[in-house]
Amino acid sequence: METRPLGPFAVSVIGLGCNNFGRRLDRAQTAAVVGAALEAGITFFDTADVYGDGASEEYLGAALGARRDTVVVATKFGMDMPTGSGASASWIERAAEDSLRRLGTDHIDLYQMHRPDPATPIEETLDALGRLVAAGKVRVVGCSNVTAEGIEASLAASGTGARPAWVSVQNQYSVLHRQPEDDGVLRACTERGLRLLPFFPLASGVLTGKYHPGEPAPQGSRLAGLPLERSSRFLNDASLGAVSRLTAFAEERGHTLLELAFGYLLSSPAVPSVIAGATGPAQIAANVAAPGWRLSDDDIVQVRALA
């Protein structure tokens, strides 16, 4: 599989989002998905302490086992856990140790602040992360759910002492949710040499083509299990209308909607890997087979108009 740079690492252009582990998938199912991902050439695994209240990290670490050092493992801190939250120095130290223990590893490749913490100065957060880097417990650091202004402020703060600088930003980004293109985040990443990691790249499955206007969400699908107020963020007349138009556009060119969804994101040099979740080996196979379409500039203009 093609790889792209992410900090000091080369990662597969399709990564595996691990938010299903410990939630929709048990330990054995997680092992099957991770095994399929490794066999398919996926080398980037993205999890968080909050996924399954730690179960995702635990299941991922167990599934990787002796293969841990053949891949890049990213996790996150900052969301609400039973024992704490935020980006204070005291919490980061505890959160990192807990993640290392659950993952069964002595280092985290990419440690990400899951969301900004308005109660903690960014300097304190970066100082704490710098100590983890110096101790060899973290290789590089990133952030998530941030604004362009937040990126600039944190990069300014990282320029002194031993404070590390972000190498990546993980924000919601898909062909149906193009906010990073409009709010300056994509431009800031491009200009500052950061990498943009899209989450919800398939709009919670809407861009797989399995949802259709006037039909209920398929039983067992991610959106079928969500309350209406949450699923309607993705499953609504506007998004389904866009999906119909995009599907026709892709099929006229001999491609699938899934290929369009991945190809659109990977058309940006700032995007090193598209982190897609999976609940079984079949989804892994479909995801890995999809990123072959390199959209032209004209394709991208047309896709934006249709979406």
Mean pLDDT of 187-194: 97
Question: Which CATH number among 3.20.20.100, 3.40.30.10, 3.40.50.2300, 3.20.20.150 corresponds to the domain 3-209+263-296?
Answer: 3.20.20.100
223-243 tens-digit pLDDT: 555 554 555 667 777 889 899
Please report how the helices 297-306 and 257-266 are oriented relative to each other, as an axis angle in degrees rounded to 10.
120
Domain limits, the chain: 3-209+263-296
Please state the separation of Cα 170 from the chain's center in Å: 6
CA atoms of 63 and 28, how far apart (whole Å)? 9
What is the average pLDDT across 81-110? 97
Nearest to 209, CA basis, from 252, 245, 253: 245
- Cα separation, 22 vs 103, in Å, equals 13
Residue 268 has pLDDT above 60, yes or no: yes
- The one-letter amino acid at 104: G
Determine whether 51 is an active site residue.
yes
| Rg (alpha carbons) of the chain, rounded to whole number | 19
Instruction: In whole angstroms, give the CA distance from residue 21 to residue 217.
Output: 22
pLDDT value of position 239: 85
Higher pLDDT, 89 or 211: 89
* Catalytic residue chosen out of the listed positions 51, 173, 211, 264: 51
- Calculate the average pLDDT of the chain: 93
Share of the chain above pLDDT 70, in %: 93
Residue type, 153: A
The mean-pLDDT minimum among 175-184, 213-222, 282-291 falls in 213-222
What confidence score (pLDDT) does residue 44 get?
A: 98
Q: Rounded to whole angstroms, how far apart are CA atoms 303 and 183? A: 19
> Can you tell me the distance from the alpha carbon of 157 to that of 163, in angstroms, rounded to the nearest whole number?
8
| pLDDT number for residue 178 | 96
Contact yes or no for 143/170 (Cβ under 8 A): yes
Is residue 238 packed enough to be buried (19+ CB in 10 Å), middle (13-18) or exposed (0-12)? exposed
Instruction: Give the H/E segment covering residue 282.
Output: helix 281-289
For 146-176, write each residue's pLDDT tens digit.
999 999 999 999 977 789 999 999 999 999 9
* pLDDT tops 80 at residue 77: yes
Report whether pLDDT(217) > 60: no
Q: How confident is the model at residue 221 (pLDDT cuts 50, 70, 90)?
A: low
More confident residue, 254 or 215: 254
Q: What local confidence, expressed as pLDDT, does residue 162 receive?
A: 85
What integer pLDDT is reported at residue 225 of this predicted model?
59
Using a pLDDT cut of 90, give the percent of the chain over it: 85
Whether 119 shows a pLDDT value over 60: the answer reads yes
Q: What is the mean pLDDT of residues 207-211?
A: 81
For residue 254, what are its two tokens? Answer: 């001999």
